[in-house]
Every structure is written in C-alpha cells, then in structure tokens.
Amino acid sequence: MKIAFIGLGNMGAPMAANLVNAGHDVVGCDPIAKPDFMPVAATNADAVRGADVVITMLPNGAILQAVAAEIHPAMEKGAVHLDCSTVDVESARKVAQSAADHGLTALDAPVSGGVGGATNGTLTFMVGGPDDAFATAKPLFEIMGQKAVHCGASGNGQAAKICNNMILGVTMIATCEAFALADKLGLDRQAMFDVVSTSSGYSWTMNAYCPAPGVGPQSPADNDYKPGFASELMLKDLTLAQMAAEVADADTPMGQRAMELYKQFVESEDGKGMDFSAMLPRFEKRGRDQA
C-alpha cells in the first residue's frame, strides 16, 4: 500500500519503520522528527496525496482535529484515515464525521503496548469504525501489532482504551497500597507476591508488572521506575475516562479518585517521567493522615 504516516515520535517512528521494513511505500511528516529510513514530506497535505491509508499518531484530540481539517481535503476519495492516537471519544467521532464528509472512511485505533510494543510490532489495537475500513487496515495491524479488536462504531476504539486504562490505573494504585500496607505489617514482599499472585488478588499489575523491585517478572520497578508507561500518560488516560464519564453521566468514583491521585503524583510529587508503578515508593513514604 501507499501509506502516509503523520506523527513520528516515540511511538509513531517505530510503527512507521515496521511498515517500511514490510515493503510498504511510506511517506512521513512530523514538525520535529525527520527519520532517515523513509521520505518525509514538507507538509501534512503533501504527505497524504495519493495515499491509500493515512495513519496519524498525535498527542491529543485538538491536534488530531486540526490535522484532520488539513489532510481530509487532500486525501484520495475512498482512502482510510487510521488514527492511532489516544484522544477523547468526541474528537474521534468528529474526525470520523469529517472523513465521511470528504468521501473517506476513518478508524479510531488507539494502542496498548508502549514503545516496546511499537518497536517489536506487538501492539494491541482497539478499533472503532466501519467494517470495510477495518478490513483494509487489517494487514497493517498485523505488521504493527499482535492483535486488533474491532470494537464497533466510530469512537468505540477510544472507549475501549480508556475503560481498559481506567481499570489499569485503579488496579495499580490498589496493588501499591497493598504492598505498602504489607511492609508496615511486617509481611515479606515475596510472600505477599506468592500469595496474591495465585489467589483472588491476582491481577495484571501484580502478576505481570509488579511494582515491587525484585519481585515477580522483570518490570520498570527493577530499573529505578524508568517508564514503560509513564505516570503522565496514565494521568492523560484517566482524565479522558473522566471526561467520557461526565458526557455519558456514568458514576466512576474509583476512576475519579485514581485520576486525582495520579494528578497529585505527577504535578506535585515528582512523579512526572517515572513509571506509573512508582506509586509504590510514593505510598511507602506516607502515613495514614497525609493528604
């Protein structure tokens, strides 16, 4: 396929590289990054002309909408706009409507797996949009990732991502709280892991991404909490979940509290730039009555 890839940052560049290595004709565009493994266009509109699929990987919904307004008039009729950004549901649906207005189809396909997954081609895509567009993009999902789940109509990919990550954020906080409590009760961390990982406290945050150094499989906790998934990205996703909950009139008190705690951690407690599992040393240092 002829592919345009807009947004060549930490995630976008390795995703684009995998498409190039698979033999696709890829043209990139980014205001800062200029990778040398593929041609880079001067403007987004130049990049998308003649492309069968245009992939975007952008920081937020406002930027996505601005880029969509620039590229949709320049895209070939019938082309697919495959957005892999993590944005609010409303922005995803507005972009899908803009695509339809210009004779295009759009997919919202946020990813899970981080930079490692982007580099290794093992991302999971949560996809919203029409069946025919999903079928067009499927071979690309198979190159860039290990799994793509079609979640339904436009916006549902974003909905799946933020619901998943709301669970992840809440569960990580509970896991870190439990380790900090175990420490203060004199329970050995390895014993704690051995019990919880094989009983009803089992979770991904305990079993696959344990926040306690030296316990369980290798994780960012064993590398001074250098981010596999940064705390500020978790805050972004929890904030998007709360925005969606407000629009949908959904009661999400645990999600709300997780967002507040990560906001405090990132903005006031030096959590920015640390893995989201670094909540454990945060709780270790705190007593019950600290705000």
- Of these residues, 77, 161, 184, 285, which one is catalytic? 161
- Count other C-beta atoms under 10 Å from residue 62's C-beta: 12
Q: How many residues does the chain have?
A: 291
Q: Is 272 a catalytic residue?
A: no
What residues have CB less than 8 Å from 277, skipping those under 6 apart? Answer: 172, 176, 205, 209, 210, 211, 219, 220, 221, 225
206 within 8 A of 215, measured Cβ to Cβ: no
The count of other CB atoms within 10 Å of the CB of residue 139 is 13
Close Cβ partners of 180 (under 8 Å, ≥ 6 residues apart): 280, 283, 284, 286
Residues 6+ apart with CB under 8 A from 215: 189, 190, 192, 193, 221
Euclidean distance between CA atoms 259 and 121, whole angstroms: 30
Closest among 276, 289, 269 to 229, alpha carbons compared? 276
CA distance linking residue 64 with residue 70, whole number of Å: 10
Catalytic residues: 161
